[in-house]
Amino acid sequence: MTHRDSGHGSSLVLLLGIVVTLAILALALVVVVANAQHNTLQERTRAKSFHVAEAALNAAMANIALNWPTSTPVPFPISSFQDQFKPQAGALPEYSASTTTDTPGVTVAYFDDRDTNGDGYINASDAPVDSDGNGIMYIEAQAVVLGRASRVRAKVQRSAFQPQVPSTDVLWCGGDLLNAGGGGGVMPKVTVGSTDPLANGGVSVDVLGNIEDYGSGIVQEPPINTQFGTGPALHNQPRSLEAVFPLGARRALIDYAKLMERYFDENNAKSGLTPLQTAQASPKSKYGGPGLAGLTVINQSTGTYSLRGQLNTATSPGVLMFLGGLGFDIGGNSDFYGLLYVEDGMITWSHGTPTLHGAMYSTENITFSGTCNLEFDYMALTGFANQAPDYTVSMVANTWRELRPQ
């Protein structure tokens, strides 16, 4: 009897030991999970504050590009910048600064690139202007999200900007050029208006695919030099996009659009709107707008923009660039003045009598319909370059730094 009681007691002790061990393991697991969640939240908040600080630095560059501070300080529009992070009605804020505000805390400082106060340091205590007029300054931007702060600094410089807009090509097509209808017998559909006197009237069309013409004479020859991928002799050597519109020139326009806040993608689209809709709702500025007028770059993977009216004018042409797959459709009695560039999206000319005055570039197929007209206009291309601002602001190479938050 005693032996059985002793064995029963040992089993009970063993069972209690197992229960205690499991309880300890469960508690440890809870602590590990809680710590992981806390660390993840901290990292996410830190990443958010860093991204806001970076955005503030870029916005500050655009702010002084409009009015470079040589003698009078240029304040940074903090309120309007913070408004971009306000949550939708009824939604929880993603970029709170604290429990009492629904937008991140942001501070921006401009200061000269030399020690103006004689304290032996170059920092925000120095003059908030380019006091020596050398076109170089510093910008520091700090953002606070839920108590987590990030601070970045870069040296920036003012430099001349002259967009390299192609001025000898009326059309470059990376796919097939399709004439889908006779257009009431009105031919050709690619013509020459004004040319550069120094270019001896030389205008080119390059089509990497085939020209599928269901009418006759889709391209005016002469004076247009036409080259396409499956054409006869003397017409089978189309030039690459790099040859007619170099990547460097395209990137310069895109970077300039970003600096001037004329670049629209999912990261800066207004709440509830696509990048295209955000661009269409944009106000008039010195560099573009209202809507898609002037310089406009849109990065959107789906959808089509339909032009049914007039975009830009003969005296104020523009540059419109679609990236990522957004398509362009022009029809009715529409008129577009300037340069159109569509990457990875389709260009369609709908039925009607639309005219594009300038030049057009597409990496995909292009379909012509109706009595449309793509008219090479040298003045519409160079006019944008002539009216563009003379200066831009960019970072000096290898000067970007992340600093300890203050």
Which tens digits make up the pLDDT trace of 310-333? Answer: 999 998 999 999 999 999 999 999
* Average pLDDT of the segment spanning 265-272: 90
Helices (H) and strands (E) in the chain, counts: 6, 22
Phi-psi region of 28 (alpha: psi -120 to 50; beta: other; left: phi over 0): alpha
CA angle 387, 56, 125 (to 5 degrees): 105
Model confidence at 346: pLDDT above 50: yes
Confidence of residue 36 (pLDDT cuts 50, 70, 90): low
| Residue 224 and residue 406 in contact, taking contact as beta carbons nearer than 8 Å | no
What is the reported pLDDT for 241? Answer: 94
- The 10s digit of each residue's pLDDT in 204-236 is 899 998 887 755 668 887 778 888 776 555 567
What is the reported pLDDT for 34? Answer: 63
| Range list of β-strands (E), 62-208 | 105-112, 136-145, 148-160, 169-173, 177-179, 190-194, 203-207
Pairing of strands 136-145, 177-179: unpaired
CA angle 158, 159, 163 (to 5 degrees): 135
* Summary mean pLDDT of the chain: 86
Q: Considering only 2-6, 16-20, 59-63, 395-399, which range has the smallest mean pLDDT? A: 2-6
Confidence of residue 185 (pLDDT cuts 50, 70, 90): very low
Backbone φ and ψ for 250, nearest 5 degrees, come out as -65, -45
What is the reported pLDDT for 215? Answer: 53
HSE at residue 168, side-chain half, CA atoms within 13 A, is: 13
- The conformation of residue 284, written as its DSSP 8-state character, comes to P
What is the reported pLDDT for 296? Answer: 96
DSSP H helices, 229-292, are 241-244, 247-259, 275-280
Which tops the pLDDT comparison, 382 or 128? 128
Burial of 295 (C-beta count, 10 Å sphere; 0-12/13-18/19+): buried
Q: Tokens for 40? A: 């993840």
